[in-house]
Amino acid sequence: MESVSPQVQEAPAQQPAASAEVVLEVEHLVKSFGENHVLQDFSLQLHRGENVVVLGKSGSGKSVLIKCIIGLLQPDSGSIRVFGEEVTGLEHQELDELRARVGFLFQSNALYDSMTVRENLLFPLRRHWINKTPAEEQAMVEEALQSVGLEQTQNMMPAELSGGMRKRIGLARTLILKPDIILYDEPTTGLDPITAREISQLILDVQARYTTSAIIISHDMNCVRITANRVALLVDGRCYQQGTYEELRHSTDPVVREFFEGAVPRA
């Protein structure tokens, strides 16, 4: 049964301010698949405490960008620095250590169907060889589930959860290691409008509670409006333009305006 969530509030007029510290920097990134030139000289900075939404059309390279950042894909050229460390040259163990500080919420949630919710949440600890006492593990599971409002689901199986609940559990599994950066890949895809809005609000709650920095890949304009401190438009493999949601929504550039046609204005 779907849990009853608190009433979702409109995103605050002033979201948490980002610091000047750059925690992730992408410079002149290039990635092609044969003749398909997906990323072409793409550059972007992410500051501590900031949510940046990368907005682009389907097939524009948004998910490729995320996979390059966490080392699932190797770029053809360019630089990716996380906490000042070049990602593209890291060995497997070094990359694994970095991934403990960078959480990744998959579009599909990627929960293991044969594991309970609790076992799914503890999987990152096993993967990163993090040793905790049973009491410490239990406390971590309870805190992560409390953060997403699903404390009662520990012994449930993924098949028993709704789409929105699975998305929340996926986020709880990401939060259990308390990452400094979270990468969200289409966090509201496949959800009904009410649940999508709840997930967008949850992203804001996580940002405020854990002071996370996040890159959010999305084409859901309501998610963009609610979550973004800054929006970066990915067009033709490049960062075409950046700004707040309101700045870009009022742009006179026809390329930018195409993204915002039909978008619901803030009340």
Tell me whether residue 163 is exposed, middle or buried, using C-beta atoms within 10 angstroms of its C-beta: 0 to 12, 13 to 18, 19 or more.
Answer: middle
Both tokens of 132, joined, read 């905790």
pLDDT for the residue numbered 132: 84
Is 78 in contact with 27 (CB distance < 8 Å)? Answer: yes
pLDDT for the residue numbered 177: 87
pLDDT for the residue numbered 98: 81
- pTM here is 0.86
Q: Under CATH, domain 16-101+181-262 is a member of which superfamily?
A: P-loop containing nucleotide triphosphate hydrolases (3.40.50.300)
pLDDT tens-place values along the chain, 267 residues long: 444 444 444 444 345 556 689 999 999 999 999 999 999 999 999 999 999 999 988 888 898 999 899 888 999 999 999 998 898 888 888 887 887 789 888 777 678 899 999 999 998 887 766 778 899 999 999 999 998 999 999 999 999 999 889 989 999 998 998 899 999 999 998 889 999 999 999 999 999 999 999 999 998 899 999 999 999 999 999 999 999 999 999 999 999 999 988 665 444
For the stretch 28-35, contacts whose Cβ atoms lie closer than 8 Å and that sit 24 or more positions apart, written own/partner, are 28/77, 28/78, 28/79, 29/65, 29/68, 29/75, 29/77, 29/78, 29/79, 29/80, 30/75, 30/76, 30/77, 30/78, 31/61, 31/64, 31/68, 31/73, 31/75, 31/76, 32/76
> Which CA distances in Å does 164 have to 9, 168, 197, 205?
17, 6, 10, 16
**For the chain, domain boundaries:** 16-101+181-262, 113-178
pLDDT for the residue numbered 93: 81
Q: Measure the CA–CA gap between 11 and 202, rounded to whole angstroms.
A: 10
pLDDT for the residue numbered 252: 93
